[in-house]
A and B are shown apart, each in its own frame.
Chain A
Amino acid sequence: MTSFDLSFAGKDHFALFGVPRAFAVDGTELERLYREVQARVHPDKHAHLGDAERRVAMQWATQVNEAYQTLRDPLRRARYLLQLAGHDPAIETNTAMPAEFLMAQMELREAVAAARAAADAAHLDDLHGRLRQEMAAQHEALRLTIDERHDYARAAEIVRQLMFQEKLMSDIDAALEAAEA
């Protein structure tokens, strides 16, 4: 799996933007802060300066991009919070999932395969929307488990399920692309 630097200039991604360490984030405010910070550190702002400045600018801009991308994406944010809390979601090893979740996913997967075979873009679009809704519900569940119940073991379970769902989402996107070609 991809590993992140846990700290830069002694700070985690939340501290870097000065926002609370929580699953719930104000996306608009985060974006504003991202632009504010990037406007100061971006290499383009230091291109006319010496090597030392340019190198620091590149490191900062890279880190700010990484922090922003991590915090704005719910799944990556959840994984990062688990990592900060010292909980390994054990993505490679723990593949156990509730039977009903697996059944629902299997059904959805079959529907995608059928729609893909029929190059039925409209149906694929429907499935895309359905999955998006299911994922939004999972995000809300993550907020509850992490921010309110601090139940990291349960959060890790949801994270594993979401990774499963995200993979299916990219399969739908690929099928849509193929159907439109």
Chain B
Amino acid sequence: MSLLRVEGLSKAFGGFEAVRDVSFTLEAGERLAIIGPNGAGKSTCFNMIGGQLRPDRGRVLLNGEEITGLPPRAVWRKGVGRTFQIAAAFGSMTVVENVQMALLSHHGRARALFPLARALYREEAMALLERVGIRDQAERFCSVLAYGDIKRVELAVALAHGPRLLLMDEPTAGMAPAERHALMRLVSAIVAERGIAVLFTEHDMDVVFAYADRILVINRGRLIAEGPPERVRADREVQAIYLGSSVEAPA
């Protein structure tokens, strides 16, 4: 059974079909990238899996269990962690408090009225920060961190409840080139050691081809190619999308 199975996912806004009949699967331990031009439907697809958007048609199954149309918090509870395109943590909290917040929620104590939040699950949070390499930043406020470090905070937060699937929307956008590879190496290592899967969208082709086991290409809401990096790179339709409608003509 696949960890994630997406069947015939579709979504229209007004008359505009943003995503149309997209199906794919994702196995444990796998890194799957979704690429495509702006407005192709990547984010819509992503948000339907994460629960931020409700699909018009189609199903999303996690380990065989249907999670279609559940709100984000319920999808999270089923074992999905996600990061966002424009990284931002809870800006009024320190790095370690951000992770503690996720842990509090995971342990069902997010609404406790009396204990001091600062003291709860601190060790667990520090261990996660250690894993993503920013333990030394634990007491800083997120609003003053370097952007690359905020991405790591987001990752630690997404990992807090021991998810089986990570959704990462443009994990390296806005980062300096050198940091991008460091972050993706970290993600790959975590995926391997925990036996989880990651689904990510990405603009940086270096990142996609270096770190994806498999690639989905979406254009105008439809899945037009799928497969290992080399096969996608050679696909003529994919070439055409990236270089314009009649790439052969001028050559």
Tell whether A and B belong to one assembly: no
**B-to-A contact residues, CB < 8 Å:** none
Which A residues lie at the B interface, using CB under 8 A? none
